[in-house]
Amino acid sequence: MPEDRTLRTKRLKMADIARMSGVSISTVSRALSGSPLIPEATRDMIAEIAKDQGYVINPFARGLRLQRTQTIGVVIPLGHGGGQLITDPFFLEMLGRLADEITLRGYEILLSKIAPPKPGWLDRLIQAQRTDGLVIIGQSDQHEALNLAAEGYPPLVVWGAHLPDQTYCVVGLDNVAGGRMATEHLIGLGRRRIAFLGDPNLPEIGQRHEGYLAACRHAGLVYDPKLDAPVAFTARTAEEAATRFVAEHKDFDGLFAASDVIALAAIDALKRSGRRVPEDVAVVGFDDSTIAAHTHPPLTTVRQDLALAAKLMIDHLFERLDEGRPMGTTLPPELVVRGSTVAA
């Protein structure tokens, strides 16, 4: 197995392979790209020499020439709280799924964390021409920037909320339905004082919040802004808010959290404050992360199918790399009932 030898010191270029094969550079180029102009025998001979030598085409040179990079950019804009770190299991799992889909299609993945997004960040990403297309995980507060960029740059797909005036391609859950579903579940269990935990300035959370409000209204519950805290995607703020709810509102008996991480943090805080879950307060999360099924109590949550979501996003992206202009897909939410709302 020649390619298992120790690494040759020199980086080879096509000219080296050409010399070794006794042909010109163009012939090597054509042979390695499988051009029908080159007879099979020559092609195989060159391919073998290249392989033996461990030669790999320099993607920068190739990219410069072809104006294609064989790379998809995966971008995580962190416009809100959560500090600078990518830690929420939701992002991480989505990233893993996207990586699988992109690799499957023979593309490379360039990962960018934008924290915080500064004016022009998306333009710069596009202008740099480092990638053939862009997948944005989460709109954050960048709806306007996305709308502007999408006008002149088709290969862009976003995970997030569907917004009325949006001109870019979005794959996302029906968050209003998800929020309604979660809240109706709590109401159906007889809960009447239902709190909300999550930052509605983020489009997805805003829509989950809408669903929450709609469900409350429909059931004739009074909306109490004191039970509605715009916490970020971090454990700390969620714990503080939950602790405050307990202290200030003895009668609150239900909680809809905008993510599983928030829900877990809140449950911890509730327990510490002496409330039982689900007996005193029933809790619903959002995402159905891997954790949700294993927590104590197991978390009732709204499931997002990230494997499917990632596949759809990349499918759409590749259509857009051609002539297609799919405008996105809305996925149905699914309520997964577990012990945090219904005692086992």
Partner DNA sequence: CTGAAAGCGCTAACAA
Partner DNA sequence: TTGTTAGCGCTTTCAG
Binding residues for DNA (CB under 7 A): 11, 13-15, 23-27, 29-30, 32-33, 37-39, 42, 57-58, 61-62, 64-67
Query: Which residues is 170 bridged to in the sheet?
Result: 158, 328
Using the minimum distance from each CB to DNA, give the nearer residue, 58 or 290: 58
Using the Cα atoms of residue 34, residue 37, residue 43 and residue 46 in order, give the sign of their dihedral.
negative
Q: Which does 308 bind (CB under 5 to 8 A by kind): DNA, a copy of itself, none?
A: none
Q: Which does 117 bind (CB under 5 to 8 A by kind): DNA, a copy of itself, none?
A: none
- Of the candidates 137, 165, 250, 161, which has an alpha carbon nearest to the alpha carbon of residue 209? 161
What is the C-alpha to C-alpha distance for residues 212 and 180, in angstroms, rounded to an integer? Answer: 5
CA dist 161 → 55, 98, 175 (Å): 45, 18, 7
Q: Does 337 bind a copy of itself (CB under 8 A)?
A: no
DSSP 223-239: P-GGGEE---SSHHHHH
Using the minimum distance from each CB to a copy of itself, give the nearer residue, 34 or 119: 119
Q: Does 60 bind a copy of itself (CB under 8 A)?
A: yes
Contacts of 108 by beta carbon, 8 Å cutoff, 6+ apart: 69, 70, 71, 72, 102
Q: Phi/psi of residue 113, each to 5°?
A: -105, 125
Using the minimum distance from each CB to a copy of itself, give the nearer residue, 126 or 229: 126
Q: Which does 37 bind (CB under 5 to 8 A by kind): a copy of itself, DNA, none?
A: DNA
- Shortest Cβ 48–DNA spacing (Å): 15
Q: Does 145 bind a copy of itself (CB under 8 A)?
A: yes
Contacts of 72 by beta carbon, 8 Å cutoff, 6+ apart: 102, 107, 108, 109, 110, 131, 132, 133, 134, 135, 314, 317
What is the C-alpha to C-alpha distance for residues 229 and 12, in angstroms, rounded to an integer? Answer: 60
CA dist 340 → 154, 160, 231, 250 (Å): 43, 26, 20, 19
- CB contact burial 163-181 (16+ within 10 A = b; e otherwise): beebebbbbbbbbbbbbbb
Q: Which does 336 bind (CB under 5 to 8 A by kind): a copy of itself, DNA, none?
A: none
The correct pick among 149, 197, 266, 309 for binding a copy of itself (CB under 8 A) is: 149
The correct pick among 19, 124, 217, 272 for binding a copy of itself (CB under 8 A) is: 124
Using the minimum distance from each CB to DNA, give the nearer residue, 33 or 167: 33
Q: What residues between 258 and 287 interact with a copy of itself by CB under 8 A?
A: 264, 268
Q: What residues between 83 and 112 interact with a copy of itself by CB under 8 A?
A: 84-87, 89, 91-93, 95-97, 99-100, 103, 108-112
Q: Where does residue 185 rank: exposed (0-12), middle (13-18), buried (19+ CB within 10 A)?
A: buried
Q: Considering only 25-33, 52-60, 211-219, 312-320, which stretch makes contact with a copy of itself by CB under 8 A?
A: 52-60
Using the minimum distance from each CB to DNA, give the nearer residue, 53 or 330: 53
Q: Which does 9 bind (CB under 5 to 8 A by kind): a copy of itself, DNA, none?
A: a copy of itself
List residues near a copy of itself by CB under 8 A: 1, 3-9, 11-12, 54-61, 63-64, 69, 71, 74, 84-87, 89, 91-93, 95-97, 99-100, 103, 108-113, 115, 119-120, 123-124, 126-130, 145, 148-149, 151-153, 264, 268, 290-291, 294-298
